[in-house]
A and B are shown apart, each in its own frame.
Chain A
């Protein structure tokens, strides 16, 4: 186990600034996810932690000691690559044994540890296959086994599931969680899939354009996004430009879609609030009235049936508003006039 501290890391590639001063602290035994769209710098940050890139500014600490200048082979932060990077000229056994041979582990122990690693990823009996003879999911598990075999202090996973099909991806993500718990190691996980990040992580850092926008548990990030980017990136959201009319006792009154709405929590609003957004999750909206609800009026544009919920796209003035309800008592058609109800308490105000 190991703690990781990243302190003001800046990385430039030519003109492009991939990381603009990133600081993070990752605890013992935590599964920590770097989440963000492609090009946000998450892989670069992971490679800096692995020692495959060096920061232009800032330091990296493992357990409090500075590892910034250590080479990748001196760090013991083992990376599983997005494309698995299995050596095609070696069998599964040789691939997994490689790191152990480098560490001069005795022969018998290598055998034992390769066997255990294969058990852990449920690939017993595949020792003599070559990587090309394996399916994508199997290759992925060999890559994981190869990393686990060396018993790393810190395991780094770079979009390990992105090349798998949807079903396998969900299976493997539970596997990774199970293995991480079983071995009790610190894992840093990179993904662009917010659902994967939420399902898997103890904590998530949402990144955008080389900056960390928010760090927190999946619940915190989903329910209390701090920026418009985070609110938009994490799950579906209705985000509408709004004008603040007044803030009193931590409650805001504002104008949105031509309506005056008051009683919106505004504790987090700081300083200048000219560029402000009103946001509410589609599942927090109802089509039936309730006590204390406020309402917008619109027209049904599209109804999509998902099984465990129904999503209705409602056109209000010139914006599309999303509503998710468990099911509909009476089916709605395109063109029907509807009212959407929400509790102002559920509204989150966002700044750019």
Chain B
């Protein structure tokens, strides 16, 4: 009797924690490995940093935070500098300085607003209207998604120089501007980021629009609603979860971006951003566990987490799309009215063209000899590209990046399949925790992970170990692989999770009911069915791992012979002007990798290349 009662109780405990009916080694391993991996390589390093930030003279203290918040350098409600400077040759715009923390917040907010405005407008135009050239728009809109760290922001800087193409067209040619405007500093960072991140809003919003049950709009029209009223009361509110998700991601990405501030670093105000400050202090204080950096990193993390937590709550509260299905599903498109045609071709098209200038600029830069004095580049050359292929000292960076990214993807796929399986199929206490942990890295700024890893690996590994960042024999490879696998996990995990959701659990249950083990049912039935989701997610993660910057240019730069290509790109972009061509050539390699991924995923998986989504 007693043993039966005990057995029942044990079973109940298993059911409560894991959501599995009886002891099942495969299911428990699938819980433990992802939990342990993310715990050790994300939670522990962050905790380590937390400990450092809250310790002063060996005791718990808010000292470092108080010190940060009391310095005008970090927070200065009264702005310094002026909105613009009117020099004899041009008007110089670089933004006001509100102190590091407020600057970061203000930039992120402006970027979010700008990106949301552009993204939502484009998504609506592409969703609602059919017009000649729409196919071209569709292709053009993929271009801003191509990531070339540092170089794209550098191109924005070139465009907005006093003798850049912007002023050349608007001042020299058309003459709308009475005087050239040179945009630099925080304003430059803002524009570069808005152009880089608006596709996130665009894609999320477009996906939301497409998911609106057409009968919801039809019903409103049938009751007399139309035009702007219909958009304001029905269409936009229904897409709001997607818009909010895109906007929040943009906010987080802007907050954690290090590429644009580095590209604009020659204007000292561009350095006054949280990420740059952490990075700068990391470079100058390597080897020393600075509590002030840790505290600054904690502040950055807190801001990003706050935004992330709000959106998770909001989106989960408003799951509209699933409610009413059935009926005929089609996308309701209309022909624009004449004035809408005018808007599409005279405002929307130039806007899209403007947002792809960084990518065009990167390619021009990669294949040109000189682009410093003239509005457009001069002298076609293959020298930079061929140097990457032929010069072993350059080629190794590309090889390092591919090796690290590829290894990271293997880890990501294994962990993601396990985590998505258990969090989707079982209803235990741990299931939602596993699910949340796989998405959580999206909310942790890269520079925070970099600093956390630096402290973490410096304290747990032996002094002369190749894993110790303070050691002379340090090899950044393994740490970069871990960092990439954590940072880029959400893309694959979400894609696999969505795939598993499409496959009814009864398919595996039927296999197990016929005598198969869970392992065989998962590997033999489920995994083949979600192969396309695995592939799609893995490619996305790979592309993002290749272009990772924060950890690559900090920990990765500690030993340049083992550094990834983004670390080398940073070195090139901050040194003499001519070397930007080489950085652009490396950026071109990244573009080629990304276009290949897009083509592969469209051809093989037959899915649209959904870059970033949050659900």
Contact = CB atoms under 8 A, between A and B. Distances in A.
Interface string B567-596: 000000000000000000000000000000
A218 interface: no
Interface in A64-83: 71-73, 76-79, 81-83
A167 interface: no
B327 A79 contact: no
A83 B324 CA distance: 6
B213 A85 contact: yes
Q: Which 10 A-B pairs have the closest CB atoms?
A: A99-B223, A85-B219, A85-B215, A102-B224, A88-B320, A83-B324, A89-B237, A83-B326, A73-B224, A81-B215
A89 B218 CA distance: 16
A163 B326 CA distance: 10
A84 interface: yes
Interface string B307-322: 0000000000010100
A248 interface: no
A50 interface: yes
B222 interface: yes
B219 A81 contact: yes
Of residues A51, A85, A99, A131, which shows the largest number of chain B Cβ atoms within 10 Å of its Cβ? A85
Given A52-B218, A81-B218, A86 B324 contact: yes
Interface string A35-57: 00000000000000011100000
Contacts of B225: 73, 98, 102
Nearest to A158: B327
A103 interface: yes
Given A81-B327, A83-B326, A89-B238, A102 B229 contact: yes
B221 A82 contact: no
A131 B323 contact: yes
Contact of A78 (B216, B223, B233): B223
B240 interface: yes
Contact of B326 (A52, A77, A78, A82): A82
25 contacts: A51-B222, A52-B218, A52-B221, A71-B226, A72-B218, A76-B224, A79-B218, A79-B222, A81-B327, A83-B213, A83-B324, A83-B325, A85-B215, A85-B216, A87-B219, A87-B238, A88-B323, A89-B237, A89-B238, A98-B220, A102-B224, A103-B224, A132-B323, A150-B223, A163-B326
Given A81-B327, A98-B233, A102-B229, A50 B222 contact: yes
Nearest to A52: B218
Given A83-B213, A99-B223, A89 B318 contact: yes
Contacts of B323: 86, 88, 131-132
Of residues B222, B234, B320, which shows the largest number of chain A Cβ atoms within 10 Å of its Cβ? B222
Of residues A77, A82, A83, A163, which shows the largest number of chain B Cβ atoms within 10 Å of its Cβ? A83
B326 A73 contact: no
Q: A-side binding surface: helix, strand, loop or mixed?
A: loop
Contacts of A77: 222
Interface in A136-156: 146-147, 150
Nearest to B327: A83
A87 B225 CA distance: 13
A89 B222 CA distance: 18
Nearest to B225: A102
Given A81-B327, A83-B325, A83-B326, A102 B223 contact: yes
Nearest to B216: A85
A79 B219 contact: yes
Contacts of B325: 83
Contacts of A72: 218, 221-222
Interface string B231-243: 0011001101000
Contacts of B219: 79, 81, 85, 87
Contact of B221 (A73, A76, A88, A163): A73
Contact of B215 (A76, A83, A146): A83
A99 B224 contact: yes
A188 to B, nearest CB: 13
A81 B215 CA distance: 7
A160 to B, nearest CB: 12
B461 to A, nearest CB: 52
A85 B229 contact: no
A266 B193 CA distance: 83
A78 B222 contact: yes
Contacts of B226: 71, 73
A73 B223 CA distance: 6
A173 to B, nearest CB: 20
Contacts of B327: 81-83, 85
Contacts of A163: 326
Contacts of B213: 83, 85
A84 B222 CA distance: 13
Contacts of B221: 52, 71-73
Nearest to B324: A83
A306 B186 CA distance: 81
A50 B234 CA distance: 19
Of residues B223, B229, B234, B237, which shows the largest number of chain A Cβ atoms within 10 Å of its Cβ? B223
A89 B213 CA distance: 13
A193 B237 CA distance: 36
Contacts of B222: 50-52, 72-73, 77-79
Contacts of A89: 237-238, 240, 318, 320
A135 to B, nearest CB: 13
Given A81-B215, A83-B213, A98 B238 contact: no
Contacts of B240: 89
Contacts of A81: 215, 218-219, 327
Given A52-B221, A98-B233, A132-B323, 16 more contacts: A73-B221, A73-B223, A77-B222, A78-B222, A79-B218, A79-B222, A81-B215, A81-B218, A83-B326, A85-B215, A85-B327, A89-B238, A89-B318, A102-B224, A103-B224, A150-B223
A103 B225 CA distance: 9
A82 B219 CA distance: 11
Interface string B326-337: 110000000000
Contact of B216 (A52, A87, A103, A150): A87
Nearest to B220: A98
B330 to A, nearest CB: 11
A84 B224 contact: no
Nearest to B233: A98
Contacts of A102: 223-225, 229
A71 B327 CA distance: 21
Nearest to B318: A89
Contacts of A86: 323-324
Contacts of B220: 87, 98
A246 B224 CA distance: 61
Of residues A51, A71, A98, which shows the largest number of chain B Cβ atoms within 10 Å of its Cβ? A98
B324 A85 contact: yes
